[in-house]
Chains A and B, each alone.
Chain A
Amino acid sequence: MIKKEMIAMLLAGGQGSRLGVLTSKVAKPAVSFGGKYRIIDFPLSNCINSGVDTVGVLTQYQPLRLNTHIGIGIPWDLDRNIGGVSVLPPYEKITNSEWYTGTANAIYQNMDYMESFNPEYILILSGDHIYKMDYEVMLDFHKEKGAECTIAVMPVPMEEAKRFGIMITDEERKITDFEEKPANPRSNLASMGIYIFNWKTLKEALLANAEQPGLDFGKHVIPYCHEKGAPLYAYEFNGYWKDVGTLQSYWEANMELIDIVPEFNLYEEYWKIYTKSEILPPQYIADSSLVEKSIIGEGSDVYGQVYSSVIGCGVTIGEGAVIKDSIIMNGAVIGPGCELNKAIVAENAIIGKNTKLGIGEEAPNETDPHIYNSGLVCVGEKSVIPEGITIGKNACVFGNTTASDYPGNCLASGKTLIKAGDEK
């Protein structure tokens, strides 16, 4: 009989609406990160580097890019005879058919998948964090403590603790209580959304709560286990871990990669991060260019100037263009003479020559002030911006725009321009 000690379930179905136009066509885990990677590469690489070779990836929102990226798992060595990676979308059942209504509900609906591997432990991961972590060490901790559920936590500054789910523990790291986004936190150990469950415990908890609408780990499953008296432990993690759920944190995490010796170092031999590399050739840096304090992906052609930026694979930057503090994703084309300040340009977008992004005074975004609030200007994937346009800060553009969409060749700070009937 097939027997896997621990299998991973990776929650990758969320939209990540706080990333605005970046997730208008792709799920958050499929968003590009760090030049050539996608966010999901980090948990997937952690899995294989930790010796977890069976991973179920739960998809729901815009799964096409994720599906093609994961394929049969070759880049992560997850193409296995037994186990490997499986993409698990919601499916119709004989009695009902429903979407994944919550994190734990998604796991519940894939009970058969987990059962087929006859596991001892289930590792629950989410596909929206940047970190390197050895799950095997966490499993050792889980076993040593005799826990039924272990929650990975990391210490955060006390003043930020109110943004997280907070665990209160005794000296043995046994969880005595927890609070979701408390006004007056009693501890600074924030949950990272990574759990190890004993399969028996998880199965029992899921079956008992099956009818709960929007079944969620943090809101229902963990409290249920706690109430029943199951030993819950907090595993403290002290490495780099970054939630990239907002435009600001996404931009920051990218910018941290270009430090001289970044805290999150991709250049270490040990603990490689794998991704599907579609573009192989080296990058070409022309005579007319200047590149400083930046990282650039394979196959890009740089004719302009690039400072403090993260550039993806297969990007073209025209002569005379000046890119500062920006993120440009795979396949984008930046025309000659463009000027980009704190811009995020998504995949395969085209920016016409002499267009300027991120110019002028900041103004709050008029449609989504809670999303576009950090002075960034965002251009959605496959969007087109014509020549000679000036675009302000906290602005966003999506769709195939033409000169007539820009009265006075200008899009002021705080404006949102979304075209072609595409909803965000």
Chain B
Amino acid sequence: MRALGIILAGGNSFRMRELSQKRAVCAMPIAGSYRSIDFALSNMSNSHIQKVAVFTQYNATSLNEHLSSSKWWDFGRKQGGLYVFTPSVTAESNFWYRGTADAIAQNLAFLKNSHEPYVVIASGDCVYKLDYNKVLEYHIEKKADITVVCKDMAPGINVDRFGTIKMNEESRIEEFEEKPVVAKSNTISCGIYVVRRRQLIEMIEKCAEEDRYDFVKDILIRYKNMKRIYGYKMQDYWSNIATVEDYFNTNMDFLKADTRDYFFKQYPDVYSKVDDLPPAKYNVGAKIKNSLIASGCIVNGTVEDSVIFKKTYIGNNCYIKNCIILNDVYIGDNTHIENCIVESRDTIRANSYHAGTDGIKIVLERNDRYVI
């Protein structure tokens, strides 16, 4: 147990449009059976990090429900465990988390009372598999103060919502720009950091004294010439879901055989809360092409190139194409839905028509549901 984990899961994003009304980005359902934070939590667990703190703030109901037990990720241990820190009024502070560094500062006792020499900080809105021990070894080998996991994005991809990085030939970070209008590099920060615990405490305390609250702006960027900050290049699949388009594309990636093989078949597994749903059921008239169907679904209609999350009911004669249907949606007969994300627990009346003509449409429909 060389490291403890911190998962930053407080965020909201206006880029998620209506989808963020209901939940924090980290609680977004992914790939039929998972939620976004499962990937960071499973990586922690699979890297033998046993003590993990999750910082939540924005609309954490769904997230808290998901984290109701630590046993799914094997954190129910005497040594360590899963800790959820939501802002609370204390003698010292009655503020919300004013930034990522402030979130850590307000819970500094957690870091101070631990004994693990290192801290792995990850954000909960990314889909990836990573053995943090490899980053940690790299961190030690480079004698770094902070190691930032980064990834080369394909040329042409807009990186203006990420932090971009320029490294020298030794992989030491020379330039770090947060959300640049014109990026000088297509290497971006994945929001995963390794740092020595005492070092982190020292820097966070300094920040708090100066009323600075952001980990990237006030620590990484300010300290980059003084501290040894290194980049660790990640080669495998990594995707941030914090915009509607990226969220949609990330889910659609799972329709590709190699992505499914990488996440579903190759060791180690990704864990999630078990919902005890029956197997998916296909009635007469069901026609499925190139789709992922989660457990508890009942399908009577046609589904093509889509990801159908748990407990969805699809009526007779429906046509669903290129869609993401989130958990527990009821779709009445003869409905046509194309290029849409249907929000969870929606009830869509029979004979409806929804199509995203110019990009992805988000369908929010709260109708009365007649129990079948």
Chain A residues with CB under 8 Å of chain B are 34-36, 74-75, 258, 260, 266-267, 272-275, 277, 280-287, 289-299, 306, 310-311, 313
Within 8 Å CB of A306, what residues of B? 282
Closest to B260 in A: A284
A267 with B288: CB separation less than 8 A = no
B282 with A282: CB separation less than 8 A = no
Supply 6 further A-B pairs (C-beta < 8 A) apart from A74-B71, A260-B284, A281-B31: A283-B292, A285-B288, A285-B303, A292-B283, A294-B281, A297-B280
B290 with A282: CB separation less than 8 A = no
Within 8 Å CB of A273, what residues of B? 276, 278
Rounded to whole Å, the gap between the CB of B160 and the closest CB of chain A is: 33
Given A280-B270, A296-B279, A298-B33, answer yes or no on A285-B289 (Cβ-Cβ < 8 Å).
Answer: yes
Find A281's partner among B32, B280, B290, B309 (CB 8 Å cutoff): B32
Chain B residues with CB under 8 Å of chain A are 31-34, 71, 255, 260, 263-264, 269-272, 274, 276, 278-296, 298, 303, 307-309
- Name which of A36, A75, A285 has the most chain B CB atoms within 10 A of its CB: A285
Within 8 Å CB of A277, what residues of B? 274, 276
Closest to B305 in A: A287
Bound-state CA distance A290–B308 (Å) is: 17
Within 8 Å CB of B274, what residues of A? 75, 277, 280
Within 8 Å CB of B255, what residues of A? 284
Closest to A283 in B: B293
A283 with B280: CB separation less than 8 A = yes
Find B288's partner among A36, A266, A289 (CB 8 Å cutoff): A289
Find A280's partner among B269, B284, B290 (CB 8 Å cutoff): B269
Within 8 Å CB of A298, what residues of B? 33, 279, 294-295
A286 with B290: CB separation less than 8 A = yes
Bound-state CA distance A273–B279 (Å) is: 11
B293 with A282: CB separation less than 8 A = yes
Give the A-B pair count, Cβ closer than 8 A. Answer: 106
Within 8 Å CB of A283, what residues of B? 280, 292-294
Closest to B274 in A: A277
- Name which of B269, B276, B287, B296 has the most chain A CB atoms within 10 A of its CB: B276
- Name which of A36, A274, A281 has the most chain B CB atoms within 10 A of its CB: A281
Given A280-B272, A282-B293, answer yes or no on A295-B33 (Cβ-Cβ < 8 Å).
Answer: no
**For chain A, what secondary structure do more than half of its interface residues adopt (helix, strand, loop), or is it mixed?**
loop
Within 8 Å CB of B287, what residues of A? 290
Within 8 Å CB of B282, what residues of A? 291-296, 306
Rounded to whole Å, the gap between the CB of B122 and the closest CB of chain A is: 21
Bound-state CA distance A74–B269 (Å) is: 19
